[in-house]
Amino acid sequence: MLKTQMQSALPLVTEVVADTQPAVADAAWQQKAAQAAEAFEAVFVREMFKDMDKGTQAIAGEQGLFGKGSGSELSGIAQMAVADQIARSRAFGVADAILRQLTPASAAQELKD
């Protein structure tokens, strides 16, 4: 029964996805999609850095080189700058994966190059 329900819902999902993607992505839409994908990758990398920083502080504690309060504001700003640069270079591939889902195949390849 569940399999039948899923099969009947699949065409509906496919139609919704097809409606949100342009058949041929125009340049303005491609640019917006690329910017949104890179912004998402930047947020993803920032959150990863925050978790890494929390782990480092938990291990080092007050005694460590990077003890609590020692430049945490500057560290956060530096992490944001590095995350933004990583996202612009698409080093993790998150933005590219998003673009493959959002844009037609030929447009996604053009955005990557």
Q: So what's the pLDDT on residue 82?
A: 92
Q: Does residue 23 surpass a pLDDT of 90?
A: no
Global pTM exceeds 0.75: no
Return the higher-pLDDT residue of 89 and 113: 89
DSSP for 72-100, please give it: HHHHHHHHHHHHHHHHHHT-SSHHHHHHH
Lookup: tokens for 23: 């058949």
Q: How does residue 12 score in pLDDT terms, banded at 50, 70 and 90?
A: very low
68-84 pLDDT, tens digit per residue, is 555 677 778 888 899 99
Q: So what's the pLDDT on residue 94?
A: 92
CA pair distance 15, 89, nearest whole angstrom: 33
Do 53 and 75 meet the contact criterion of CB atoms below 8 Å apart?
A: yes
In the block, which residue shows the tokens 């037609």?
104
Query: Dihedral angle at the C-alpha atoms of 81, 84, 86, 90, nearest 10 degrees?
Result: -170
Q: Does residue 56 surpass a pLDDT of 90?
A: no
Burial class (CB in 10 A: 0-12, 13-18, 19+), 28: exposed
Lookup: tokens for 31: 């640019």
Q: Does residue 41 surpass a pLDDT of 90?
A: yes
